[in-house]
């Protein structure tokens, strides 16, 4: 099975920190998905959940991951990163196929 996503070291560390310190049940996995369209297109979702029949299951860096089969193609090639700034912190999805914008 091809694993559609990658997780950066920063994101991996934060996910493991959450799993260890936020009382996530041992039978829960990291769920990666998409939320429906509208004008802005797809938005991405992360959370913890129990596996369901329609899930693809795999492991990344020791993290059990779930992706619903119908979301698989929308996540292909995505990279999950974690950022910490002065005003915000959180997870972000990066598509390496889309070139970064260079401001002038």
Residue 10: inside a domain, yes or no?
yes
Is 100 part of any domain? no
Q: Domain tally for the chain? A: 1
Within a domain: residue 103?
no
Q: Cα–Cα distance between 73 and 46 in angstroms, integer?
A: 16
pLDDT tens for each residue of 63-95: 999 999 999 888 999 999 999 988 889 999 998
Question: Residue 70 belongs to what domain range?
Answer: 6-94
| pLDDT for the residue 104 | 37
Output the DSSP codes for 39-98: TT--EEEEEEE---TTEEEEEETTEEEEEEGGGHHHHTT-EEEEEE-SS-EEEEEE-TTS
Q: Find the CATH number of the domain harbouring 35.
A: 2.60.300.12
Q: pLDDT digits over 17-65, tens only?
A: 999 999 999 999 999 999 876 566 778 999 999 999 999 999 999 999 9
H/E element, 13:
helix 9-21
pLDDT given for residue 45 in this prediction: 92
63 inside domain: yes
pLDDT exceeds cutoff 50 at 103: no
Would you say residue 86 lies in a domain? yes
Q: Taking a C-beta distance cutoff of 8 angstroms, is the pair 55, 64 a contact?
A: no
Does residue 98 surpass a pLDDT of 80?
A: no
Does a structural domain hold residue 76? yes
């Amino acid at each position: 099975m091809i694993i559609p996503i990658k997780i950066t070291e920063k994101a991996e560390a934060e996910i493991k920190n959450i799993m260890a310190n936020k009382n996530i049940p041992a039978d829960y996995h990291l769920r990666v998905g998409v939320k429906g369209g509208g004008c802005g297109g797809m938005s991405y979702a992360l959370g913890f959940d129990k596996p369901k029949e329609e899930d693809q299951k795999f492991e990344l860096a020791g993290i059990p991951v779930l992706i619903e089969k119908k979301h698989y193609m929308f996540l292909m090639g995505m990279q999950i990163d974690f950022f910490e700034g002065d005003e915000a912190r959180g997870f972000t999805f990066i598509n390496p196929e889309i070139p970064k914008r260079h401001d002038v």
